[in-house]
C-alpha cells in the first residue's frame, strides 16, 4: 500500500513539472505563496500515513509524513509521552495538520524556549529527492554523528528540497505536573522578570505576556512546581483555562492573532530575549521568555526586515493579505549562494516548492 | 584525467593533491602570518601528526597558527589559490582521526583564537573564539550561576570549535542535549575564504537550518571562527545513585525501565565488570567489583525535585533487580561516584599498553545483547574489552585492550572494532554517536549508507567546498573506496555501488 504511494510520488517527480508538496494544507498561509511564480501540481502526502514504529522506552517514534499530528499525539498520549516542541496545528480544523508538514515548516510552540525547537527533536528521516531517489539520513537513536545532518536540514525547508517520507522523532514523558500562574505587569517589567528567571533553575516551560498580563507555565515534579509557584507569586489559573490558553497560543487561535486590524500583517519577531520593547505598535504578544514577539503592522516588509536586522532579530510576515514575495528576511549574499547550491544538489531540476522559502529557490 | 579531479570535488574518487605548489604556498603563508605563526620544519610538525587517535599519523606540509580571524581568512585564501588542502585543528583530542593532517596539506590550528569575546549574563549567552576550551566557558560564567551544559569527558582540554565540528556530547546530554542543542550561532570561513554566519543571537533565522548542517560536519564544510553558545542555570542540587546488578541483562532492562517510568535522569551511565575492576583499584570509588554491571543514575534540579526523582529512580532500580543501591549523601560522595566513571579511559591505559575506544550507538533495548556479543568477540579475537556506556542514550564506548608492539594485535583490534560497528548498524543504530567518522570510520560508512546517500553527502560538501580542499578523505568515503572496501551493505533493496567498477 505504502510502497505504491511512494511509487506515485516518484512518478510525479519524474514528470519534472513543478510540485507543491502538501499535507493537510494547514500552513498554506505561511511562507511564500504556494507555487511562487510557477504553476505547480500538488503532491499530497496524506495517503502515506501511519506509525512505523514506537517504543516508549527508547523515547523515539517513527511516523509516515502524512500522519496527522492529532493521530500521532494520541498514540503518544496513551503512553504518557508527547512532542515537547508543541508543533502548531493552525487550520480551521486542528485535525488537518500532518507531521510531515510540521517538520517541513519547522515551527515550534510555547515550550520552545525551554524544551527546544522541532529540529532539536528530529533524529532521522527518509526522503525522496528531486531525482526520485529514496534516501535515509540520521536514524532512530539519540546520538548519531555519521554523515552530515541532512535530517535537520530538512526541518524548516518548506518543501523546497524534497519529499519527507518518514521521520523519526525524539519524544519525552509528559511532565508529572503542570501549573499556570498569572501576574499583572507592564511589558518592560515582564521582560526583565523573564530574563532574570531564565538565569535561575526554575521549571518554567512556557511564558506569555499580552495586554499587561503575564502567564507562566511551570512543569516538572510536583514539589518543584509547588516551590516555584510560591517563589514567583502571582495568582493561580484554573487547569482547564490554562490548557485552553496555552493551546490557543500554540495553534495561533488566541484572539490576539485573530484581531482584525484592518488588513495589517501579523509579524513574528525572533529576537534576543533581552531586547527591550522596541516595536512601537498598539499591541505586542511576547512568548518564549522574551525571545519571540508578535505584532500587527502595515509597514512595508523591507522596512520591518531592516528594523529587525538592526536589533539582531529576524522578522517573518506570518499572516498577511499583502503579496507574499518577501515574507522571510532576506539572506546574506554568501548564505543565499549556499542555499542555491544546496537546492541544486537536492532538487537538480528545480521542481519543489518554488518561492516557498525564498523567492530565489 | 588525474589532475582534473583536483578542480571539482566529486563523489567518485579521492583526490590527490600531490601536485600542489609547495614553494608558492610557503611564501604566501610567510607573507600573511607573523613570525612563528607558521611551522614547516619536520620536528616542529611532529606534534601535529595525529589527534587523540594516535594509531593514525601523517606529517603535514605546514602548520599555520593564526592569531585572529583575518589571519584565518588569509591562510584560507592562500591555500585556496594554491589548491592546497586545509585540515582545521582545535585541541587535537578527537578520537576518530578527524584532525589528522593531510600529507600535502596545511594544518590550520585554531589554538591561538582562545578569547571569550562577550558574556551576556542576562541573555545567558557567550560569544567565544573556537580555540576556547570547553571547561573555560563554564569557569568564566560560574560567578553568574551559569554553565555551558555539554560536558565531554575531555572538557578540560577540548576546544569549543572541535565540539561544534563533532557535535560532541557528555554524560549529561541525555537531559541537556548535545552541542547542537546548545549553540546559537557560528561564524564560518568557507574554503574560498568567504565569511558567512549561520544562526543568530535569537532562536530562529530565515532560510535553511545551515547551523544544524554545519554542527557535526567535522571540518569538511568550513572553519568556525566565532561561536555563540547558550548558557544554562546551574541546578540547585544533584544526587547520584550507584546501583549494582548481578546480570548485564537485568542492568540493561533497568535502564529501559527508568526511562519508561517517565524519568529523564541528568545522567545514566553503565559500566561492566571489567571496567569496574580496572577503575576501582585506582579511584576507590566504592564500586562493587563483584557486580556484573553497575549503573550511575543522576538527578539534578531543585532540592524538592531531586528528592522526588531519586525516590522514584530508587524504586524502579530496586524493582528491576538491583542487588545493591547507594545514594550519594554529599557532594563529595557524588563526585567520587563520578570519578570512577570519568577515570575509565585512563584506567584502560593503566591496565593495558594500548586501548581502542569505540563509539557506536544502539537502541537501549539492545544494550545487553551488545554486551553479550562483545564477550563472544573477545574470544574470537583473543583480546579483552571493557565497556562504559552512556546507557541513557544507547551510546557505547567499548574499550578494546591491545598491545601495539605485539605483531598483529592492532589489526585484530581494528577487526574487533569493525565487528562492533557492524553490529551497531544491524541493531538499528549507528557507527558513531559522538566521536565522528573522521579517518577512522570511513570504511564503516560504506556499511551504514548506500551510494545514493553518500552521493548526497558529497553534493552537500561540494555546495560548501567545490574544490574539496577542506579535510579531504575524511567523514564521507568516496564511492570507489566503498567499492574497494567490498564489505558492502544492501538496504531498501538497493544493490550497493553497482555503478562502480571493482578494482
Ligand atoms: C579522554 C577523552 C575523552 C573524551 N570524551 C568525550 C566525550 O565524553 N564526548 C565526546 O563527544 N567526545 C569526547 N572525546 C573526543 C573529543 O574530545 C571531542 O571530539 C572534541 O570535541 C574534540 O575537540 P578538539 O578541540 O580536540 O578537536 P580536534 O581533535 O582538534 O578536531 C576534531 C575535528 O574538528 C575539526 N575542527 C576543529 N576545530 C575546528 C574549527 N574551528 N572549525 C571547523 N572544524 C574544526 C577538525 O578538523 C577535526 O575534524 C574525548 C576524547 C578524549 C581524548
pLDDT at residue B501, rounded to an integer: 44
From chain A, the residues in CB contact with B491 under 8 A are 136
Mutation site, A104, A114, A143, A232, interface B, largest B CB count within 10 A: A143
Which H or E run includes A63?
strand A60-64
Task: For residues B24 and B485, give the distance between their C-alpha atoms in angstroms, rounded to a whole number.
Answer: 36
- Does the pTM of the predicted model rise above 0.90? yes
Pocket flag, ligand 1, residue B471 (CB < 6 Å)? yes
From chain A, the residues in CB contact with B460 under 8 A are 148, 150, 342, 345
Name the closest residue on chain B to residue A192, using Cα atoms.
B122
Identity of the residue in B146, B169, B200 whose CB atom sits nearest the CB atom of A312 = B200
Q: Which of B72, B79, B90, B105 gets mutated to test ligand 1 (max ligand atoms within 8 A of its CB)?
A: B90
**Which residue has a Cα nearest atom 7 of ligand 1?**
B152
**Which residue has a Cα nearest atom 8 of ligand 1?**
B152
Q: What is the pLDDT of residues B451-488, one digit of tens each?
A: 999 999 999 999 999 999 999 999 999 999 998 876 44
Q: What is the pLDDT of residues B61-105, one digit of tens each?
A: 999 999 999 999 999 999 999 999 999 999 999 999 999 999 999
With cut-offs at 50, 70 and 90, classify the pLDDT of residue B400. Answer: very high
Name the closest residue on chain A to residue B236, using Cα atoms.
A201
Q: Which of B51, B94, B225 gets mutated to test ligand 1 (max ligand atoms within 8 A of its CB)?
A: B94
Residue A355 is given by DSSP the state T
pLDDT at residue B371, rounded to an integer: 94
Distance A145 CA to ligand 1 centre (A): 13
Tell which B residues from 14 to 43 touch A, by Cβ distance under 8 Å: none
Mutation site, B169, B302, B359, interface A, largest A CB count within 10 A: B302
**Class of B347-502 per CATH?**
alpha beta
Within an 8 Å CB–CB cutoff, is residue A326 touching chain B? no
Q: What is the pLDDT of residues B3-40, one digit of tens each?
A: 333 356 778 888 889 888 888 899 999 999 999 999 99
Domain boundaries, chain B: 2-109, 116-233, 237-345, 347-502
Tell which B residues from 130 to 169 touch A, by Cβ distance under 8 Å: 144-146, 166-167, 169
User: Does A134 contact B492 at a Cβ distance shorter than 8 Å?
Assistant: yes
**Residue B492's Cα: distance from chain center in Å?**
29
Strand B106-109 versus strand B62-64 pairing type: parallel
Pocket flag, ligand 1, residue B433 (CB < 6 Å)? no
Identity of the residue in B121, B195, B308 whose CB atom sits nearest the CB atom of A221 = B308
Distance B286 CA to ligand 1 centre (A): 31
DSSP assignments along B435-478, one per residue: S--TTTTHHHHHHHS-HHHHHHHHHHHHHH-TT--BSTTSSS--
Task: For residues B87 and B59, give the distance between their C-alpha atoms in angstroms, rounded to a whole number.
Answer: 12
From chain B, the residues in CB contact with A271 under 8 A are 202
C-alpha cell at A48: 502515506
CATH-assigned architecture of domain B237-345: 2-Layer Sandwich (3.30)
Characterise B145 by phi-psi region: left (phi > 0), alpha (psi -120 to 50), beta (else).
left
Identity of the residue in A116, A270, A312 whose CB atom sits nearest the CB atom of B204 = A270
C-alpha cell at B99: 584532525
Within an 8 Å CB–CB cutoff, is residue B3 touching chain A? no
C-alpha cell at B64: 599555520
Query: For residues B300 and B266, is the Cβ–Cβ distance under 8 A?
Result: yes
Distance B167 CA to ligand 1 centre (A): 9
Report the length, in residues, of chain B: 503
Task: For residues A117 and A219, give the distance between their C-alpha atoms in angstroms, rounded to a whole number.
Answer: 17
C-alpha cell at B413: 583490534
Task: For residues A238 and B22, give the distance between their C-alpha atoms in angstroms, rounded to a whole number.
Answer: 73
Percent pLDDT > 90 in chain A is 91
Within an 8 Å CB–CB cutoff, is residue B389 touching chain A? no
Distance B131 CA to ligand 1 centre (A): 11
The answer to whether domain A3-173+340-346 has CATH 3.40.50.300 is no
End-to-end CA distance of chain A: 33
- Whole-angstrom Cα Rg for chain A: 21
Whether B2-109 and B237-345 share one fold: the answer is: no
Q: Cα separations (Å) of A18 from A41, A185, A347, A361, B429?
A: 6, 51, 11, 12, 36
Identity of the residue in A106, A227, A328 whose CB atom sits nearest the CB atom of B304 = A227
Average pLDDT, chain B: 93
pLDDT at residue A259, rounded to an integer: 72
User: Does B309 contact A292 at a Cβ distance shorter than 8 Å?
Assistant: no
Cβ burial, residue B247 (10 Å; 0-12/13-18/19+): middle
Within an 8 Å CB–CB cutoff, is residue A358 touching chain B? yes
Q: What is the pLDDT of residues A260-299, one digit of tens each?
A: 667 899 999 999 999 999 766 668 999 999 999 999 999 9
Q: Where are the beta strands (DSSP E) in B257-380?
A: 267-272, 293-301, 324-327, 354-357
User: Does A221 contact B301 at a Cβ distance shorter than 8 Å?
Assistant: yes
Task: For residues B424 and B374, give the distance between their C-alpha atoms in angstroms, rounded to a whole number.
Answer: 11
Within an 8 Å CB–CB cutoff, is residue B230 touching chain A? no
Name the closest residue on chain A to residue B176, using Cα atoms.
A115
Strand A19-22 versus strand A41-44 pairing type: parallel
Paired strand residues for B38: B64
Mean pLDDT on A33-54: 86
Which H or E run includes B371?
helix B367-381
Task: For residues B3 and B15, give the distance between their C-alpha atoms in angstroms, rounded to a whole number.
Answer: 9
pLDDT at residue B500, rounded to an integer: 46
- Residue A238's contacts (CB-CB under 8 Å, 6 or more residues apart) are none
- Residue B353's contacts (CB-CB under 8 Å, 6 or more residues apart) are B402, B403, B404, B405
> Is the pLDDT reported for residue B276 higher than 60?
yes
User: Does B308 contact A80 at a Cβ distance shorter than 8 Å?
Assistant: no
Strand A163-170 versus strand A122-128 pairing type: antiparallel
Alpha helices in B151-287, H assignment, sequence order: 160-166, 173-176, 179-182, 210-214, 248-260, 273-283
Residue A340 is given by DSSP the state H
pLDDT at residue B497, rounded to an integer: 47
Mean pLDDT on B404-421: 95
C-alpha cell at A356: 516557498
- The topology (CATH level 3) of B2-109 is 3.30.43
pLDDT at residue B127, rounded to an integer: 98
- Residue B137's contacts (CB-CB under 8 Å, 6 or more residues apart) are B116, B126, B128, B147, B148, B160, B229, B231
The reply to whether ipTM tops 0.90 is: yes
Q: What is the pLDDT of residues B319-355, one digit of tens each?
A: 999 999 999 999 999 999 999 998 898 899 999 999 9
Classify the C-alpha dihedral B134-B138-B141-B147 as positive or negative: positive
> What SS3 state is found at A329?
coil
Paired strand residues for A236: A181
With cut-offs at 50, 70 and 90, classify the pLDDT of residue A35. Answer: low
What's the CA angle centered on A69, arms A68 and A70, to 5 degrees?
85
pLDDT at residue B88, rounded to an integer: 98
Phi, psi of B312 (to 5 degrees): -70, -40
User: Does B260 contact A57 at a Cβ distance shorter than 8 Å?
Assistant: yes
Q: Cα separations (Å) of B449 from A123, B437, B475, B490?
A: 16, 13, 12, 9
With cut-offs at 50, 70 and 90, classify the pLDDT of residue B489. Answer: very low
Domain boundaries, chain A: 3-173+340-346, 177-255, 259-319
pLDDT at residue B488, rounded to an integer: 45
CATH number of B116-233: 3.20.20.10, 2.40.160.40, 1.10.10.10, 3.30.465.10?
3.30.465.10
Distance B100 CA to ligand 1 centre (A): 11
Distance B87 CA to ligand 1 centre (A): 13
> What SS3 state is found at B255?
helix
Average pLDDT, chain A: 94
Pocket flag, ligand 1, residue B94 (CB < 6 Å)? yes
Q: What is the pLDDT of residues A152-201, one digit of tens each?
A: 999 999 999 999 999 999 999 999 999 999 999 999 999 999 999 999 99
Task: For residues A156 and A87, give the distance between their C-alpha atoms in angstroms, rounded to a whole number.
Answer: 12
b/e burial code for range A252-277 (CB count within 10 A of at least 16 → b): bbbebbeeeeeebbbbbbbbbbbbee
DSSP assignments along A242-287, one per residue: HHHHHHHHHTT-SHHHH---TTPEEEEEE--TT--S---SS-EEEE
Whether A3-173+340-346 and A177-255 share one fold: the answer is: no
Within an 8 Å CB–CB cutoff, is residue B9 touching chain A? no
Residue B385 is given by DSSP the state E
DSSP assignments along A110-168, one per residue: TTHHHH--GGGGEEEEEEE-TT--EEEEE-SSS---SS--HHHHHTT-TTSS-EEEEEE
- Residue A133 burial (CB count, 10 A): 18
Residue B406 is given by DSSP the state S
Pocket flag, ligand 1, residue B101 (CB < 6 Å)? no
Task: For residues B269 and B264, give the distance between their C-alpha atoms in angstroms, rounded to a whole number.
Answer: 13
CATH code for the domain defined by A177-255: 3.30.70
Amino acid at each position: 500500500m505504502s510502497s505504491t504511494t511512494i511509487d506515485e510520488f516518484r512518478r510525479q517527480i519524474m514528470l519534472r513539472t513543478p510540485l507543491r508538496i502538501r499535507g493537510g494544507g494547514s500552513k498554506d498561509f505561511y511562507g511564500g505563496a504556494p507555487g511562487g511564480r510557477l504553476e505547480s501540481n500538488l503532491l499530497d502526502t496524506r495517503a502515506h500515513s501511519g506509525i512505523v514504529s514506537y517504543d516508549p522506552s527508547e523515547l523515539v517514534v517513527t511516523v509516515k509524513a502524512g500522519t496527522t499530528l492529532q493521530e500521532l499525539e494520541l498514540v503518544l498520549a496513551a503512553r504518557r509521552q508527547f512532542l515537547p516542541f508543541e508543533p502548531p496545528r493552525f487550520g480551521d480544523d486542528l485535525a488537518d495538520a500532518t507531521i510531515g508538514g510540521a517538520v517541513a515548516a519547522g515551527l515550534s510552540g510555547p515550550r520552545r524556549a525551554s524544551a527546544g525547537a522541532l529540529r532539536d527533536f528530529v533524529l532521522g528521516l527518509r526522503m525522496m529527492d528531486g531525482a526520485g531517489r529514496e534516501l535515509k539520513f540520521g536514524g532512530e537513536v539519540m546520538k548519531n554523528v555519521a554523515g552530515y545532518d541532512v535530517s535537520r536540514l530538512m526541518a524548516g525547508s518548506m518543501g523546497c528540497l524534497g519529499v519527507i517520507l518518514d521521520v523519526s522523532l525524539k519524544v519525552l514523558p509528559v511532565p508529572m505536573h503542570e501549573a499556570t500562574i498569572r501576574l499583572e505587569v507592564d511589558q518592560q517589567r515582564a521582560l526583565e522578570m523573564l530574563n532574570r528567571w531564565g538565569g535561575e533553575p526554575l521549571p518554567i516551560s512556557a511564558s506569555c505576556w499580552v495586554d499587561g498580563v503575564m502567564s507562566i507555565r511551570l512543569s516538572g515534579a510536583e514539589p518543584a512546581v509547588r516551590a516555584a509557584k510560591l517563589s514567583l507569586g502571582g495568582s493561580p489559573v484554573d487547569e482547564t483555562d490554562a490548557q485552553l490558553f496555552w493551546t490557543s497560543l500554540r495553534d495561533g487561535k488566541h484572539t490576539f492573532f485573530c484581531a482584525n486590524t484592518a488588513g495589517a500583517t501579523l509579524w513574528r519577531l525572533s529576537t534576543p530575549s533581552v531586547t527591550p520593547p522596541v516595536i512601537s505598535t498598539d499591541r505586542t504578544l511576547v512568548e518564549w521568555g522574551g525571545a519571540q514577539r508578535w505584532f500587527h503592522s502595515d509597514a512595508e516588509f523591507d522596512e520591518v526586515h531592516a528594523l529587525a536586522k538592526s536589533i539582531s532579530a529576524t522578522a517573518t510576515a506570518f499572516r498577511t493579505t499583502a503579496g507574499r514575495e518577501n515574507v522571510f528576511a532576506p539572506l546574506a549574499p554568501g548564505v543565499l549562494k549556499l542555499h542555491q547550491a544546496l537546492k541544486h544538489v537536492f532538487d537538480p531540476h528545480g521542481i519543489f516548492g518554488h518561492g516557498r522559502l525564498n523567492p530565489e529557490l | 584525467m588525474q589532475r582534473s579531479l583536483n578542480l571539482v570535488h566529486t563523489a567518485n574518487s579521492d583526490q590527490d593533491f600531490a601536485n600542489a605548489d609547495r614553494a608558492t604556498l610557503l611564501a604566501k603563508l610567510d607573507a600573511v602570518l607573523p613570525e612563528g605563526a607558521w611551522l614547516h620544519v619536520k620536528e616542529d610538525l611532529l606534534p601535529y601528526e595525529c589527534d587523540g587517535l594516535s594509531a593514525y599519523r601523517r606529517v603535514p606540509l605546514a602548520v599555520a597558527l593564526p592569531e585572529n580571524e583575518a589571519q584565518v581568512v588569509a591562510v584560507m585564501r592562500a591555500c585556496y589559490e594554491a589548491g592546497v588542502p586545509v585540515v582545521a585543528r582545535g585541541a587535537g583530542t578527537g578520537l576518530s582521526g578527524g584532525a589528522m593532517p593531510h600529507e600535502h596539506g596545511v594544518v590550520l590550528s585554531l589554538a591561538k583564537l582562545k578569547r571569550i569575546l562577550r558574556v551576556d549574563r542576562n541573555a545567558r549567552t557567550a560569544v567565544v573564539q573556537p580555540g576556547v576550551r570547553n571547561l573555560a566557558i563554564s569557569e568564566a560564567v560560574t560567578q553568574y550561576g551559569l554553565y555551558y551544559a555539554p560536558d565531554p569527558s575531555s572538557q578540560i582540554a577540548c576546544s569549543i570549535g572541535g565540539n561544534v565540528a563533532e557535535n560532541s556530547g557528555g554524560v549529561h546530554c541525555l537531559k541537556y542535549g548535545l552541542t547542537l542543542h546548545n549553540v546559537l550561532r557560528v561564524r564560518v570561513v568557507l574554503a574560498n575564504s568567504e565569511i558567512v554566519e549561520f544562526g543568530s543571537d535569537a532562536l530562529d533565522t530565515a532560510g535553511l537550518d545551515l547551523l544544524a548542517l554545519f554542527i557535526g560536519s567535522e571540518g569538511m564544510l568550513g572553519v568556525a571562527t566565532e561561536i555563540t553558545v547558550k548558557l544554562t542555570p546551574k541546578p540547585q542540587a544533584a544526587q547520584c545513585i550507584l546501583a549494582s546488578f548481578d546480570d548485564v541483562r537485568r542492568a540493561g532492562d533497568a535502564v529501559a525501565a527508568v526511562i519508561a517510568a517517565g524519568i529523564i535522569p541528568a545522567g545514566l551511565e553503565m559500566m561492566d565488570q571489567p571496567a569496574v575492576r580496572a577503575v576501582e583499584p585506582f579511584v576507590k570509588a566504592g564500586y562493587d567489583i563483584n557486580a556484573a554491571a553497575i549503573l550511575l543514575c543522576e538527578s539534578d534540579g531543585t532540592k524538592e525535585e531531586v528528592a522526588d526523582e531519586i525516590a522514584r529512580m530508587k524504586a524502579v532500580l530496586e524493582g528491576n533487580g538491583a542487588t545493591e543501591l547507594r545514594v550519594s549523601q554529599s557532594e563529595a560522595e557524588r563526585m567520587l561516584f563520578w570519578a570512577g566513571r570519568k577515570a575509565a579511559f585512563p584506567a584502560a591505559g593503566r591496565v593495558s599498553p594500548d586501548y581502542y575506544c569505540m563509539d557506536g550507538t544502539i537502541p537501549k533495548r539492545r544494550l545487553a545483547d551488545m554486551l553479550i556479543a562483545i564477550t563472544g568477540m573477545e574470544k574470537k579475537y583473543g583480546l579483552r574489552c571493557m565497556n562504559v556506556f552512556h546507557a541513557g542514550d544507547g551510546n557505547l564506548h567499548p574499550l578494546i585492550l591491545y598491545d601495539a608492539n605485539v605483531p598483529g594485535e592492532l589489526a585484530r583490534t581494528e577487526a574487533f572494532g569493525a565487528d562492533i560497528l557492524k553490529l551497531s548498524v544491524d541493531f538499528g543504530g549507528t557507527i558513531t554517536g559522538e566521536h565522528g567518522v573522521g579517518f577512522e570510520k570511513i570504511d564503516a560508512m560504506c556499511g551504514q549508507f548506500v551510494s545514493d546517500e553518500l552521493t548526497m553527502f558529497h553534493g552537500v560538501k561540494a555546495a560548501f567546498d567545490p574544490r574539496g580542499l577542506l579535510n579531504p578523505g575524511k567523514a564521507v568515503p568516496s564511492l570507489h573506496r566503498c567499492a574497494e572496501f567490498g564489505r558492502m551493505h544492501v538496504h531498501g533493496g538497493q544493490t550497493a555501488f553497482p555503478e562502480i567498477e571493482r578494482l
